[in-house]
Structure 1
Amino acid sequence: MQTPLELAFKDIEPSEDIKALVAEKVAHLETFFDGITSCHVYIRAPHQSQRKGNLYEVTIELRVPGDELVVRRDQDDTAEHQHLKVAVRDAFAAMAQELKRWKAQIKGDVKTHGGPLQGKVVEIHHDEGYGQIIATDHRLIYFHKNSVVDGNFEDLQPRDTVELVVKTGESEIGPQASTVRPISSLQYDPHPKRSGQ
């Protein structure tokens, strides 16, 4: 993930067991899709249910390129959710289904490229000499100012369109561009044709 997992407990004592379980479940989600940018998990013991005692509420907010997936487990008043580990397990199982559904939806947009990979600058830090690009294959790609060719890093702005070449083998910070070339928006094709069409 681009940013570390954020886990918050409300009306409940933080537990090392639960922290470890959540970290394990997040790692499992990354086996379905390795482009998750952030994950926020909120765990709370809300109201007292007159029928079943204290029910835990687990909310997961997962950011993926261009979207946010949210699962909230509290409405179904399941008796098992009196057990926090079960509530966490069920919430992550639901998120895994959401993630698979989202991935299937975008699959139609992930095309094989006849030409160079393109993308748009989503983040630029002129003072620190780096930025990030969301590519047409939905990956978030890091780039350093030294990778910019046929243009000036200082001139790049968010939403600018670029062609890029991604290094083979991921760095510690994820996919990284070896070359970034600014192009005009008229040349930008967010939906390249599939090969063979």
Structure 2
Amino acid sequence: MTVPLQVTFKDMDPSPALESRIRAKAARLERFADDILRCHVIVEAPHRHHHQGRLYRARVEVFVPRGDVIVTREGPLNHAHEDPYVAVRDAFDAAIRQLEDHVRRLRGDVKHHEPVMRRGRIARFIAGEDYGFIETEGGEEVYFHRNSVAGDGFDRLRVGDEVHVSVEEGEKGPQAVVVHPVHRRSAD
């Protein structure tokens, strides 16, 4: 089945070559979802008064049962979008990722992870670095980075401090996603 496609050019002259590229990319969408109802692609040059640095905007709308995928790619800071082909490519790449996510959600393939907080203690810091290791109650050693510590608590942590830690498996072993220092109440 061929995806019904509508191509619109705004504030720019139609380009048969660009339209051909769009049609080829739209035809590839069927590989990711076989129930596409239609696709609408809008390519726009929003600032006609610029002679140089004109940034193109590409919008891909993919209509599927039980939800639509709509992606706009504009690059106010992305000068690669001075080329309309790049803006279209980026929009289709993002649309494919969202379409794949949509299909996974419909199939129920999306995993929902509830963070499991474990208790642990700061085992050690690496000198001069922004990371260290936590030993959990089960004796597992978990890597943690400054960015995983809630708030600005990294600089206040000391070896032996109790923490609650949410752990996931990283490339090199277990690593902390979130670290919450356990604050002791001072005796008044």
Counterpart AA for 1:97? R
- Normalised by the size of structure 1, how large is the TM-score? 0.51
Offset, 1:34: 1.3
Offset, 1:49: 9.4
Counterpart AA for 1:77? L
> Residue deviations 1:79-134, cap 9 Å, x none?
1100111111111001010001111111129xxxxxxxxxxxxxxxxxxxxxxxxx
2:105 counterpart of 1:72: no
CA–CA distance in structure 2, aligned partners of residues 66 and 9 of structure 1: 28
SS at match of 2:41: strand
Question: Structure 1 unaligned runs (5+)?
Answer: 110-197
Q: What does residue 22 of structure 1 align with?
A: 22
Structure 1 stretches of at least 4 aligned residues deviating more than 4 Å after TM superposition: none
CA–CA distance in structure 1, aligned partners of residues 73 and 63 of structure 2: 18
CA–CA distance in structure 2, aligned partners of residues 77 and 56 of structure 1: 12
CA–CA distance in structure 2, aligned partners of residues 20 and 64 of structure 1: 23
Q: What does residue 47 of structure 2 align with?
A: 47
Q: Which has the higher contact order (CA 8 A, sep 6+)?
A: 1
Q: What does residue 186 of structure 1 align with?
A: none
% identical aligned pairs: 38
Q: What does residue 13 of structure 2 align with?
A: 13
Counterpart AA for 1:8? T
Contact 1:49 1:55 in 2 (8 A): no
Contact 2:55 2:75 in 1 (8 A): no
CA–CA distance in structure 1, aligned partners of residues 79 and 10 of structure 2: 20
Counterpart AA for 2:31? T
Counterpart AA for 1:70? I
CA–CA distance in structure 2, aligned partners of residues 2 and 68 of structure 1: 18
Question: Structure 2 unaligned runs (5+)?
Answer: 110-188
Q: What does residue 108 of structure 2 align with?
A: 108
Offset, 1:77: 3.0
Offset, 1:38: 0.6
Offset, 1:48: 6.2
**Structure 1 27/2 Cα, relative in aligned 2: closer, same or farther at 3 Å?**
closer
CA–CA distance in structure 2, aligned partners of residues 41 and 91 of structure 1: 9
